[in-house]
Amino acid sequence: MQGPRPVVLSGPSGAGKSTLLKKLLQEYKNVFGFSVSHTTRKPRPGEVNGKDYHFVSREEMQKEIDAGEFIEHAEFSGNMYGTSKGAVQAIQAQNQICVLDIDIQGVKNIKRTELNPIYISVQPPSIDVLEKRLRDRQTETEESLRKRLTAACVDLELSKEPGLFDLVIINDDLEKAYSELKEILLEVSPAFRGSCLSPSLRVTGAQFCSSSPCRKSRRPKNPASPELSLLGRFNFAHHSWSAPRHFIPRDIPSSLIPFQSYSRIFLLKENKTWSRLCLC
Ligand SMILES: Nc1nc2c(ncn2[C@@H]2O[C@H](COP(=O)(O)OP(=O)(O)O)[C@@H](O)[C@H]2O)c(=O)[nH]1
Ligand SMILES: Nc1ncnc2c1ncn2[C@@H]1O[C@H](COP(=O)(O)OP(=O)(O)O)[C@@H](O)[C@H]1O
């Protein structure tokens, strides 16, 4: 699989995955792409075939699974769900960060593949709150609500397995949970961090790059801005960073210190604030 590292959001039904994802996809339209799963469950009012899910029959889905077209699939609450290879490839072909919303069985199955995503668990503050949210959502029958609550208890127990998730978000206050999600992604996804730089910074960087040959590891003679500094260089041969410390002014926040996915890191100071500009 190519492209930026995908992101998996998992957690009990009703925990708030779709709500958080919608906000993320809305705020960062061309940065993230949603992996549209297949399911045999019936569409809910407002759900669009091909956008929310590919709604298919059990026979159709089984046929495609047998043909090896799925990365993973699972049975949840009496229906089949699965991620097709095509769903992920469609996002990666656009160089977007692919986001998957899958259950805990899917997480375990994806771990056996080479997809290598970042695993985030979204959890409710309590089972009682989860039940209330699911009831208020008005999408479930009493029977499917019961099944989801039972599955939620299993999910919350299994998700305690050390190392299964990279991070857990407790979705109590929505805005707080969303901020946490963005912070986590900024921390762990170089592709997201790169996309958060303002276009003006990127343009400055491009001009800067053209006037400064990529092979040179010293500070360029004529930087586009006197406040633009080369922070570090990744040595692909030794897989190590060289960050000449004397280039780093004291007021740079530690969150801007080099990350191993870039060959060069520049910093730009604008309005007294440091921004990182990453160039490969
Ligand atoms: N394994 C797996 N789980 C999926 C997939 N798509 C959705 N799910 C999970 O299936 C569960 C039920 O999804 P859904 O019926 O949309 O209900 P909701 O999560 O309560 O909105 C959720 O936990 C989803 O994360 C998939 O492709 N694979
Ligand atoms: N932090 C929150 N506080 C209150 N309600 C929330 C919160 N997050 C989500 N919800 C609501 O809870 C319900 C379940 O959220 P949803 O995103 O559909 O969960 P999931 O996709 O994990 O099944 C939705 O009606 C949603 O509007």
The per-residue pLDDT for 270 is 63
Question: Among residues 40, 41, 42, 43, which one has the least CA distance to residue 60?
Answer: 40
Question: Is the C-beta atom of 19 inside 6 A of ligand 2?
Answer: yes
CATH number at residue 14: 3.40.50.300
Answer yes or no: is 189 within a domain: yes
Q: Which of 60-69, 132-141, 238-247 bottoms out in mean pLDDT, i.e. has the lowest?
A: 238-247
Tokens of 82: 């699965």
Q: What is the dihedral of CA 178, 180, 182, 188, to 10 degrees?
A: -150
Question: Is the C-beta atom of 16 inside 6 A of ligand 1?
Answer: no
Residues 6+ apart with CB under 8 A from 64: 38, 56, 70, 84
The per-residue pLDDT for 207 is 35
Sheet strands side by side (includes 38-39):
54-55, 38-39, 79-84, 70-76
The per-residue pLDDT for 213 is 32
How far apart (Å, rounded) are the C-alpha atoms in residues 16 and 130? Answer: 9
Whether 269 shows a pLDDT value over 70: the answer reads: no
- Report the pLDDT averaged over residues 195-200: 54
Residues in the chain: 280
- Any idea which residue has 């503050």 for tokens? 125
State which residues form the domain around 128: 7-199
Answer yes or no: is 100 within a domain: yes
Taking the CB of residue 224, how many other CB atoms lie within 10 A of it? 19
Answer yes or no: is 209 within a domain: no
If you measure from the C-alpha of residue 32 to the centroid of ligand 2, how many angstroms do you get, rounded to a whole number?
20
Mean of the per-residue pLDDT values of the chain = 82
146 noted as active-site residue: no
Question: Is the C-beta atom of 137 inside 6 A of ligand 2?
Answer: yes
How far apart (Å, rounded) are the C-alpha atoms in residues 235 and 109? Answer: 34
Q: Which of 18, 72, 102, 144 is the best mutation target for the ligand 1 pocket, counting ligand atoms within 8 Å of the beta carbon and taking the most?
A: 102
Answer yes or no: is 80 within a domain: yes
Question: Among residues 200, 255, 208, 250, which one has the least CA distance to residue 230?
Answer: 208
Number of structural domains the chain divides into: 1
**Integer CA distances (angstroms), 158 to 12, 155, 167, 236, in order:** 11, 5, 14, 38
- Report the pLDDT averaged over residues 9-38: 96
Question: Is the C-beta atom of 133 inside 6 A of ligand 2?
Answer: yes
Of the candidates 5, 41, 133, 137, the residue annotated as catalytic is: 137
For β-strands 167-170 and 54-55, DSSP reports them as unpaired
If you measure from the C-alpha of residue 101 to the centroid of ligand 2, how many angstroms do you get, rounded to a whole number?
14
Answer yes or no: is 212 within a domain: no
**229 vs 253, more confident:** 253
Answer yes or no: is 42 within a domain: yes
Question: Is the C-beta atom of 121 inside 6 A of ligand 2?
Answer: no
Whether 222 shows a pLDDT value over 50: the answer reads: no
If you measure from the C-alpha of residue 114 to the centroid of ligand 2, how many angstroms do you get, rounded to a whole number?
31
Whether 164 shows a pLDDT value over 90: the answer reads: yes
Residues 6+ apart with CB under 8 A from 240: 234
The per-residue pLDDT for 184 is 87
pTM exceeding 0.80: no
137 noted as active-site residue: yes
Three-class secondary structure of residue 26 per DSSP = helix
If you measure from the C-alpha of residue 60 to the centroid of ligand 2, how many angstroms do you get, rounded to a whole number?
30
The residue whose CA has the least distance to atom 27 of ligand 2 is 19
The per-residue pLDDT for 189 is 82
- For residue 132, which ligand has an atom nearest its CA? 2
Tell me the torsion sign for CA atoms 75, 81, 86, 90: negative
The per-residue pLDDT for 103 is 98
Answer yes or no: is 216 within a domain: no
Answer yes or no: is 211 within a domain: no
